[in-house]
Structure 1
Amino acid sequence: MQHGAGNIDLTPEDRWTLMEAFIREKGLVRQHLDSYNAFVTSWIKDIVREMGRIETSQPGVYIEVLDVRVGEPQFREVEGNVERITPMEARVRNLTYAAPVKLIIALYENGIEITRQEVPLGELPVMVRSVLDPTSRMSREELIRIGEDWRDPGGYFIINGSERVIVTQEDLAPNRVFVDKAKEGTNITFTAKVISASAGYRVPIILDRLKDGTLLINFPPVPTKIPFAIMMRALGLESDRDITLAVSADPVIQRELMPSLLQVREIGTQDDALDYIGSRVALGQAREARIERAEQIIDNYFLPHLGTTRADRLRKALYLGQIACKLLELALGRREPDDKDHYANRRLRLAGDLLAQLFRVAFKQFVKDFRYQVERHRLRGRKLNLRALARPDIVTDRLRHALATGNWVGGRTGVSQIIDRMNLISTHSHLRRTVAPLSRGQPHFEARDLHPTQWGRICPFETPEGPNCGLVKNLALSAYISVGINSGGVIEILKDLGVIPIEEVFRSLRAGDEELEERIVRYAKVFVDGTLIGYYFKEDATELVETIRRLRRSGRLHHEINVSYLRTGYLNEVYINCDSGRVRRPLLIVENGKLKITKDVIRKVKQGELSFSDLVSMGYVEYLDAEEEEDTYIAIDPKDLTPEHTHIEIWPPAILGIAAATIPYAEHNQSPRNAYQSAMAKQAIGFYASNFHLRFDSRAHFLHYPQKPVVQTRFLDVIGYNDRPSGQN
């Protein structure tokens, strides 16, 4: 490689310096810690605020939850005194390592505050080394003094003395439309599916296209399928023209809607449509009651992620129009069926996410019970002591029981498992494991296959043999999972960049803007987290995409935002993602065939003057998700760089997981041999923890004289393997 002004001779040592900085900064279980920290610092407050005002059965009397506070890990002794505890104490005494959660509650009567008190909500299990755990702020010496292994990664919970890890769950991305061809031998030709996930519950919504061209909607509370046009009318779009414009301004797609519109000619008003839906769910009731029930179902259970009020109905109608548009584009051959195994369409649900789901259910139970107690005491005319009325064991028991058994809300089992303490590798590997919730008995060949988009995200070797092969996976060393940011701010920035909101466009089309109707078909659609938010009023949206990337690289946009641009013969779509659970990986940025990073910057990283996060905010490195990676051209080796390249790999062996990274010369082995060794590395007996003489494990494996390997890989030191070796040469 030539030594140009902006081009450097990137040696393996330089690349390793950057990779080592990434692993040392993020740690190997950062994904669980970040997710849990987000839960205890912000999501828990959002869940409590969602409840808003708690009405009671007595007129004018209501309760408001003003704030929620989480304390430090503690335990109430038999004598009644409360003591701070350490993780080691919880392990040895078979206690649960948990922190108290308190609510600030005010009781109002006719708008006047009667009393305000701090009420115990329950105990929240604390993740070891998280922001709630004092050990996360301790030095090596302090950790040793309280009996901890300073090499312990954390990321697990201590429930009744046993260490339990919440295994990452792999799911289809929520709030995204997936279109596919239907199975042969049915009356359905094409089908679209959305899993609408709002805070708390997930509602699958399915739109089918039948052989006669009609469209039918299927969603849980309604036992029968509802014609598409009836649903659109129920959402407030009464005229045929409004319905077709909500789907598309393209005459070809509008023609495809004719069978659906002709199917329900006799139902022309919103009330008629609501009555049609209501008669399916509220049998034998009066028309008013049926309409009210239908409105309730549409607001609460139809696309709940867009909102649950009357005002959100237009947004829901436009979203449903987009589902129909995507389905008809597939039917017309304008787009391909979605690949469900593409990693852009997958999300990982981490500890914080799963605990939030559990906490929400427990909190609702707590509120229901609390409301009942307040009503009962008011009726008896007693003086209210809110503290005494709260039953914190509702939340405590619910959370503890789920973590202790692994049985989660929604019928999932095995979500939490006892951590594997065979050796250091097995512990780290367990904390980086992901599970796809598919039935083990069926073949699911596509789901088990290694997908090209898993490069750098999922280890290609580390998966069990047998029925779980390809369903249980492990994160690659370069993988980092997004925590998620609020999309509201992103949408405001997009408006400033020239994106016209969908509601404005629809209003103009509705008002009869013929020129717009003709042009809009060619403009780029802009999606944020799977929802169409507007149009970019140019045929080529490259400028918009480049601006977003430039803002992100300069640190003016959050680094978790990813953007990709899909441009084919018919399609013109910009996708922007900022949700949680996307597996992303860091890459070095290349501009005009030249690396942005310089030798001087790498030297500063090596000397500890710059952190890996600094490289991201300075625009030398960026994180890409699988969707944005489709827009890039990545070089593996510096000598392969051409002006077309956009990025270069930081350290190619980082595509491996923890266990496979310990194999020397893995590229010289037959592929299944690496898979076998990845499993066996986790079974080697060695030195599993430096505080073994203080622990009371029911089963511990210990080798008297472990040796560090004669032939090593660079990762061993970073993982800490040489301090906790297993096996002998």
Structure 2
Amino acid sequence: MAPSHSSRRAKTDTAWDNEYDTVRRHNLFQNPPTDHTAFPTLAAAIEPHTHSFNAIFAKNGLLENGLKDIGIKTFLDGDSTTVGPRNRLSVRVRDIYLEKAVLPTSNKIALNDRRILPSECRERHATYRGKMRARLEWRINSGEWQSSVRELGQVPIMLRTNKCHLEGLTPSELVCAKEETEELGGYFIVNGNEKLIRMLIVGRRNFPMAIIRPSFKNRGQSYTKFGIQLRSVRPDQTSQTNVLHYLSDGNVTFRFSWRKNEYLIPVTMILKALVDTNDREIFEGLVGAAGSKGLADKQFVTDRVELLLRTYKAYGIHSKAKTRAYLGSKFRVVLGVPDDTSDEDAGTEFLRRIVLPHLGSFDVTENDDRSKFKLLLFMIRKLYALVEGECAVDDPDAVSNQEILLGGFLYGMIIKEKIEDWLMSIRVVASEWCRNTRLTFTDPEFEKDFLPKIVRRTNENIGNAMEYFLSTGNLLEDSVVVQLDGRVLGYCSPKQAKVIHDTLRYWKVEGTHNVPKELELGYIPNTNGGQYPGIYMFSQPARMYRPVKYLPLDSLDYVGPFEQPYMSIACTEPEIVSGDSTHVEFDPTNILSVLAAQTPYSDYNQSPRNMYQCQMAKQTMGTAGSAIAYRTDNKSYRLQTGQTPIARPPLYNEYGFDNFPNGMNGVVAVISYVGYDMDDGFIMNKSSHERGYGHGTVYKTKKIELNESSRTKGTKKVSKLFGFAPDGLIKAEWRLKLDDDGLPHIGTLLQKGDVLCAYHHVTYDAARGEYINKDGQTHFEKYKDDETGFVEQVRLIGSETGNEPLQAISLTIRISRSPVIGDKFSSRHGQKGVMSQKWPGIDMPFTESGIQPDTIINPHAFPSRMTIGMFVESLAGKAGALHGLAQDSTPFRFDERNTAVDYFGEQLAKAGYNYYGNEPMYSGITGEELHADIYIGVVYYQRLRHMVNDKYQVRTTGPNNALTGQPIKGRKKGGGIRIGEMERDALLAHGTAHLLQDRLMNCSDYTRAWVCRECGSFLSTAPTVNGYGRGKRGGNITRCRRCAKPAEGWEPKSEVWEDGQGMRFTGGENVSVVAIPGVLRYLDVELASMGVKMKFNIGEA
């Protein structure tokens, strides 16, 4: 038998250059690889997300270390008034398992394949999640451990991780799973929407940073702005921040935060509690041995250390045991330790959890405490150096002092926190059981009720919480410290430090002596007032590093942001300085991110424009993917006429961006042709527009549920069904839109007010075993958008159990978005602008060869922006189009000798065009030649998502705020546009007072109100009541109660008037009607409620 096609296929090639490779890309698209991805660089970009999630449930992973840190929770029965010994209930969680997403066992329909794939969750608007289980163990007093496996709910799973069904699938298999061929993963699916945990910037772990912060003075009377801050990270990636504060009298205070409360402790007390030490050891650890050389030069530090030790003597606590007992007595309630735990043990628990936990957070040994002691001494030395001015401030905003909090790490932190909360909730329920039953933990009833009545009453559903989270030092002599991951290894001289650093670097690159390749070697030399010197080594995860070439071995080396400022890295080989440069870049473009590297010839542009393009590349309509048919995004964009750019770097192919084009190649002329191209506006050739230039589509997905969604565990009662009510009236206009099942036809045209689906109310008839409609009425869900759309897809969403009638559908609506005046476009150089006019093709200027530009931009767009790269791209695109070549747009490829103008100019000259890209053009209106040569070429343009149809807001009359009478805000609600202070000032500056009055009062909250001309008050006026008819108004007569006088009975009846409370008055008739904004009266009422009176002067109109 002949071998299959797949067996004959060669191994997928992963090498790419800047050529078009159209045939190769076409073959990859039609026949996805069956071995591995053709774009490994693209897949590597998402690995920090997936690897961090895999670390959560891995062996010796985040949760395993987190459970060790949580340890055993011990609770006592009875209360403080209980006589005699109390029984101890100890609980702990030993193992946690996360299963892959599968159908529940109650679903009897699917027998062969019970997997739930991510594509199904997208289409069903469901959450891609798996069941999480934990082994709960407990014992009473010193008895045997008992265990039970508990279900902790359904936890969302990150795609392409080892808990996802897509792990390890080839591109061909991904297509069969209804995914993109290059599906990257790294995100979650929650209610059908893709949710990504963004990487967060946090402070560098386990490194004491010298900080000057004025807010430190707010801690107390003697506090200063100087401090040392260290973010200590445990093995499970949770952190505890320790801060040392310098006081104005020379003392140092240790500050930490626990359960959102801050606590302050003398630092000497922490030192005494860690190890058995004395004042002499502390003094020599901070200053040096007494009588040593150079001690007199350290008078500043010596005086403060002596004061630090003398001040502590007031506590009268010197031994390690007594100091721990003192700390335990103060913090046992804060830490929640059991009542029968001794104060010394409580103090030990305090040191384990709070003080530098990265040096020991569980199974802490005496060596760990000694390491904490050494590091704390180093932090105090660095703090004194900062105050004395011998140490520079560490900028927390500098990249060298930052690292990344990965999404998986944050996810694991929350799971750990919820597990600890769950264990602590057992204490509350168990105590309540003891109070209600008046029994103890040793009673047989407790063992019988522990699982069904105590543990089950706790909130075991951690999955719901996770789903909700997704859906919101100087020594005496000059010396430097040597640290590894926040652990002090020792000290050495500056000369030795340089030798040690260089040797470790050589071994690291060479791969010998067990030095990891990813180790960060931060050598800070001695400087006067610079950063605190030392060798700081970092090997833990979540660090940033990048590849460079190590010159002595001509091999790959990874450097981090902490060590980079003190290294000499040449950008290119000609810049290598003998005896100084230790490294050189593999490529100058390595300084650029993935997006920044796509900007063609970015070295010719002003830097802000390159940054603008990085943002605008994310705002393009673009192409969301090739599996659009299986996506249910709330709103997605698609560019119908996407093309591959002519000017492109090799990275464009390496990342496979041709699978997701985000722009079009267009002929662009730089000319002020008509007046519509001012202020970044550009003119589009109407004929190009009609041929599809820039045409796009918006897809909106609407989910319609007959049963209201609920977070309760109870089952939902079926009360509605899709379709027309039996024997009900069905109009012809409904039949045009809907099928017999009450759902819309595919391709149906939708306008505002059209019906989307039909449903009717039903009740279940148990005798007949079916749902029956009794009222004969059909109800409809209607289309509420203003834009015309088409029904693209109708999805039927069944229940997970498979035993309910259809209760939910998902409609995908396609809305055509052809470019209109006001839509935003941009080149890849930050030159953004709106389409100001579609100019008829017959009136557009044309070249000698008959080419008409697709767009015309104004020459004034270039001088201030200095986007020379766009000029170069125009030349390169023009030459590439003429010769059929892809142009390499990688920056830093040209210099003053080998210029881009010469390189592309020679290509243009060979094709018979002007060397500099200029051409004579003729007016499309008169046919005459223009008096200047016009710069014309091919530029890759992007259509942005900022479109007029999404933003225009027009209102004449509409809903108003019931309280103020002013128009409400919000485009969807038919609200108005807010006129702020700048808009008001602009109207006043133009002398348009009547326009201001018309907009802000007449067409807003215009109100006619009565005001007293004598007292100038709105609030004192009141309508009169007809004295002849009780409760009737007095003929629209209004009087001022404040200016009126109470009637005494002898006044003429014609002068007496009555208010609504039966009071009679005379006078107060000097009132007038004025036109005011309604909010003015509201302000008057608000101020009156605070006892502030407003008085208005009323003049003649």
TM > 0.5 between the two? Answer: yes
1:342 equivalent in structure 2: 398
Q: In the alignment, which residue of structure 1 is the partner of 2:191?
A: 160
- The gaps in structure 2 that reach 5 residues or longer are 1-15, 19-36, 78-86, 290-294, 334-340, 434-440, 666-1101
Q: Which residue pairs with 1:29 in the alignment? A: 46
Pairwise CA distance, 1:154: 1.3
Partner of 2:172: 141
Q: Does 1:546 align with 2:546?
A: no
* 1:223–1:281 CA contact under 8 A, matched in 2: no
| Structure 1 match to 2:627 | 691
* 2:373 pairs with 1:317: yes
Instruction: Describe how 1:62-461 pairs up with structure 2 within 5 A.
Output: 62-63=90-91, 65-76=93-104, 79=107, 83-106=114-137, 113=144, 116-181=147-212, 183=214, 188=224, 190-198=226-234, 199=236, 202-220=239-257, 225-236=264-275, 239-249=278-288, 251=295, 252=298, 253-270=301-318, 297-307=350-360, 311=366, 313-369=369-425, 380=445, 383=448, 389=455, 393-404=460-471, 406=472
State the 1:536 CA deviation.
Answer: 5.1
SS at match of 2:659: coil
- What secondary structure does 2:496 align onto? coil
Shift of 1:25: 7.6
Partner of 2:486: 530
The equivalent of 1:462 in structure 2 is none
User: CA shift at 1:704, angstroms?
Assistant: 2.2
User: Secondary structure, in 3 states, of the residue corresponding to 1:700?
Assistant: strand
Question: Partner of 1:128: helix, strand, or coil?
Answer: coil
CA–CA distance in 1 between the matches of 2:278 and 2:139? 46
Contact 2:91–2:136 at 8 Å: present in 1 too? yes
**Deviation readout 1:667-707 (Å, 9 max, x if unpaired):** 11222222222222222223211111222222121222222
Relative distance call for 1:149 and 1:241 in structure 2 (3 A) is same
Q: Which runs of 5+ in 1 are unaligned?
A: 1-11, 15-19, 407-501, 503-517, 597-619
Q: Aligned pair in 2 of structure 1 residues 385, 85: CA closer, same or farther (>3 Å)? A: farther
Q: Assess, with a 3 A threshold, how the Cα gap between structure 1 residues 369 and 29 changes in structure 2: closer, same or farther.
A: same
- Any conservation in 2 of the 1:122–1:393 contact (CA below 8 Å)? yes
Kindly state the Cα deviation for residue 102 of structure 1 after the two structures are TM-superposed: 2.6
Q: Whole-Å Cα distance in 2 between the matches of residues 22 and 687 of structure 1?
A: 18
* 1:568 alignment partner in structure 2: 526
Aligned twin of 1:610: none
Change (3 A) 1:81 1:528: farther
Query: Residue 238 and residue 722 in structure 1: after superposition, are their counterparts in 2 closer, same or farther (change >3 A)?
Result: closer
Q: Distance in 1 between matches of 2:423 and 2:284?
A: 44
Partner of 1:430: none
**Residue aligned with 1:709, SS:** coil
C-alpha contact 2:329 2:346 (8 A) present in aligned 1: no
- Residue 332 of structure 2 contacts residue 343 of structure 2 at CA under 8 Å; is this kept in 1? yes
String of CA shifts for 1:194-247, please: whole Å, max 9, x gaps: 233435754433323334333333334696754444443454566321221232
CA distance in structure 2 between the aligned counterparts of 1:93 and 1:150, rounded to whole angstroms: 21
Instruction: Compare 582-591 and 40-49 and name the one that shifted more.
Output: 40-49
Shift of 1:86: 0.6
Check whether the contact 1:366–1:394 (CA below 8 A) recurs between aligned residues.
no
1:661 and 2:597 aligned: yes
Deviation at 1:369, TM superposition (A): 4.3
Q: Which amino acid aligns with 1:261?
A: L
Secondary structure of the 1:348 match is strand
Higher relative contact order (CA closer than 8 Å, sequence separation 6+):
1
CA 1:387–1:560 in 2, change beyond 3 Å: closer, same or farther?
A: farther
Displacement after TM superposition at 1:665 (Å): 1.1
What TM-score results when the alignment is normalised by the length of structure 1? Answer: 0.69
Q: How far is the alpha carbon of 1:657 from its aligned partner?
A: 2.3
Q: Within 5 Å, which residues of 2 pair with 1:495-506?
A: none
The within-5 A match list for 1:666-677 is 666-677=602-613
Offset of 1:625 from its aligned partner?
0.6
What amino acid does structure 1 have at the position aligned with 2:538? N
Alpha carbons of structure 1 residues 381 and 690: separation in structure 2 relative to 1, 3 Å:
same
Look up the SS of the partner of 1:667 in the other structure.
Answer: helix
TM-score, length of structure 2 as denominator length: 0.47
Task: Give the structure 1 partner of residue 68 of structure 2.
Answer: 49
Q: 1:212/1:22 Cα in 2 relative to 1: closer, same or farther (>3 Å)? A: farther
Distance 1:26 1:589, change over 3 A: farther
Whether the aligned pair in 1 keeps the contact of 2:371 and 2:488 (CA below 8 Å) is: no
Q: CA deviation at 1:13?
A: 8.1
Alignment CA distance shift 1:293-1:22 (3 Å): same
SS at match of 2:641: coil
Listed one character per residue, the Cα deviations across residues 272-330 of structure 1 (whole Å, up to 9, x for unaligned) are 867886897799xxxx9988876664553333333366945544333222111011122
SS across alignment from 1:534: strand
User: CA offset at residue 46 of structure 1?
Assistant: 1.9
Is the contact between residue 568 and residue 583 of structure 2 (CA under 8 Å) also seen in structure 1?
yes
Mapped partners of 2:591, 2:612: distance in 1 = 17
Q: SS state of the match for residue 167, structure 2? A: helix
Contact 1:223 1:280 in 2 (8 A): no
Aligned partners of 1:538, 1:662: CA distance in 2, in Å? 44
Distance 1:200 1:529, change over 3 A: closer
Question: Does the aligned pair in 2 maintain the 1:122–1:395 contact within 8 Å?
Answer: yes
Q: Which piece of structure 1 moves more, 521-530 or 22-31?
A: 22-31
Which AA in structure 2 matches 1:172? Answer: G
Which SS does the other structure have where 1:680 is aligned? helix
Kept after mapping to 2: 8 A contact 1:118/1:387: no
Q: Counterpart of 1:581?
A: 542
Specify the code of the residue in structure 2 equivalent to 1:244. F
- In 2, Cα distance between the equivalents of 1:382 and 1:274? 36
Query: Could you give the per-residue CA deviations for residues 405-441 of structure 1, whole angstroms, max 9, x where no partner exists?
Result: x2xxxxxxxxxxxxxxxxxxxxxxxxxxxxxxxxxxx
Which structure would you say has the larger Rg? 2
Shift of 1:169: 0.7
In 1, Cα distance between the equivalents of 2:262 and 2:241? 13
1:369 and 1:277 map into 2 onto residues whose CA distance is 26
Q: Deviations over 1:368-411 (max 9, x none)?
A: 3457778969752555896995678521111111111x2xxxxx
Does the residue aligned with 2:635 lie in a helix, a strand or coil? coil
Larger helix proportion of the pair: 1
